[in-house]
Structure 1
Amino acid sequence: MKDALIAHRGAPLLAPENTLPAIRAAAAQGARWVEVDVKLTRDRKPVIIHDDQVDRTTNGHGFVANMMLEYIRSLDAGSSFSPEFADTRVPTLEELVETVLELGINLQLELKPTPGDDIETAEIALAAIKDFWPANRDGLFFTSFSIRSIHAAARLMPNVPRAFAVVVPPKDPKALMAETKCQILHLQRALLSDDALKILADSGIEFAVATINEADKAQHFFAGGAQSILSDVPDLFLRKAL
């Protein structure tokens, strides 16, 4: 990573998370990288949504994996955030990539399988990426909490960097990187103690911390060895110089 901040699900404090307005808002706030989540529908189409179910972020109910693309695309993914975003749709992966390329920014694509379709999520999403992402363009990497998705990504697009995401910091970060075939480790801030930070820093691996919305907390993790953070605030570094 050459940039210290990745805009988490776009700009979810300004627009509905994981939607095209959120991506555009992040870019307008100066983000050079955005992170989004990809899942499969019942008819095996990759869409940009975080949860296994649509209930939290749309006016629908039920599991993404049990819905056809046409139905998910009929849902309102914006009104619950603000009337201003009424009729915002859950994006397809193709729409998301087109928007990222149009804006000239970079993409962290999190493979977010519904438990049980880990390999298929990676296979279908990466097949789509091969179709949509220019072969000679950098600015792309994959991440997942699923070891099976990550291993599939390593097999299918070995030249694209990968990040493995964990909640509990590993005791042996280098061994975990070797096992997962990843170049970057993503960690959740909640369990990241100073002792764990030291282990990570001493290991020499590249790691990022999520989700950091305060400049002083970002500085703490950078001082502890992190190279980047995920944030809901794309202009975090502009608001308070580090």
Structure 2
Amino acid sequence: MPIGLATLYPSPVIGHRGACALAPENTLASFRQAARDGAAMVEFDAKLTADNRAIVFHDDDLERTTDGTGPVQDITFEALSGLDAGGWFSPAFQGAQVPSLEEVLDCAQDHDLAINLELKPCPNRVEETARVVLATAALQWSADDRPPLISSFSRAALAVARDLAPSWPRALLCDNLPDDWREQAAILRVQALHLGDVELSPATIAQVKNHGLAVAVWTVNDPERVRFLLAAGADAVFSDDPGAIRKALG
């Protein structure tokens, strides 16, 4: 299924978890900050609570970005809503909540933000997470809307996305380019690879691009490195401060 680069990446700079250098990651404040700074696209992580609500949250545990403790998959959405997800970042954001997926999708649509929805399942909930997240997202999309880009490190989650939402583009996330990337790209029918910026070379980018796949690189906050990667053929980068990178690129 040919999908143009403009559909995958409306801008070469994607806000990583919103604008998480300036606001607490994966909160509505972070996505609104990205929109204010001119981002055209944001990335975020989706997983499930104990009662199968799709939420936007990165870690498997609560401690790093909330005042709660324990595994995310053991807490109900109601209990999660009572946690502070902003005070860890700055007192100015105290009281920010972990948002539901529906809230983030509404925010993205209100601010005309394209989205990269990463399936980030908790342990042992891979297929279930993919099914619930995709079903939740599908309720808010019409055929005329720009499709969300679905990505994941989990090949099993991407297989669910391939089967349940075949018209939505997909990207395989990798720390480094795996030996079986061509085989997996064909099996999962992905349109892109999202590669970590650890010793990523122009030769690796060219190898993937020559295979007909797009390349986006995470997470890049140095403008000179962004220029280098884009000149080397990368189609987009993920940045914690998309506004600053956009400004530096001119």
> 1:168-179 alignment to 2 at 5 Å?
168-171=176-179, 173-179=181-187
Q: Which moved more, 1:66-75 or 1:186-195?
A: 186-195
Counterpart for residue 104 of structure 1: 112
1:32 aligns with 2:32: no
1:145 aligns with 2:139: no
> Contact between 2:10 and 2:40, CA under 8 Å: does it hold in 1?
no
Counterpart for residue 204 of structure 1: 212
Q: Which moved more, 1:154-163 or 1:214-223?
A: 214-223
Secondary structure of residue in 2 paired with 1:132: coil
1:60 aligns with 2:58: no
1:45 aligns with 2:90: no
Q: Deviations over 1:37-62 (max 9, x none)?
A: 00101111111100000110000011
The letter for the 2-side match of 1:117 is: R
The letter for the 2-side match of 1:8 is: H
Q: 1:2 to 1:175 in 2, by over 3 A?
A: farther
TM-score (norm 1): 0.95
Q: 1:113 to 1:19 in 2, by over 3 A?
A: same
Stretches (4+) displaced over 6 A: none
TM-score (norm 2): 0.92
Whole-angstrom CA distance in 2 between matches of 1:95 and 1:25: 15
Give 1:200 shift. 2.5
Q: Which moved more, 1:193-202 or 1:121-130?
A: 193-202
Q: Unaligned 5+ residue runs, structure 2? A: 1-8
> Contact between 1:12 and 1:22, CA under 8 Å: does it hold in 2?
yes
Whole-angstrom CA distance in 2 between matches of 1:58 and 1:233: 21
> Contact between 2:194 and 2:218, CA under 8 Å: does it hold in 1?
yes
Counterpart for residue 156 of structure 1: 164
Give 1:151 shift. 0.6
CA RMSD of aligned residues (A): 1.5
1:76 aligns with 2:94: no
Whole-angstrom CA distance in 1 between matches of 2:249 and 2:87: 34
Give 1:172 shift. 5.9
> 1:4-23 alignment to 2 at 5 Å?
4-23=12-31
Q: Which moved more, 1:217-226 or 1:120-129?
A: 217-226
Counterpart for residue 92 of structure 1: 100
> Contact between 2:205 and 2:215, CA under 8 Å: does it hold in 1?
no
> Contact between 2:227 and 2:249, CA under 8 Å: does it hold in 1?
no
Counterpart for residue 188 of structure 2: 180
Q: 1:198 to 1:138 in 2, by over 3 A?
A: closer
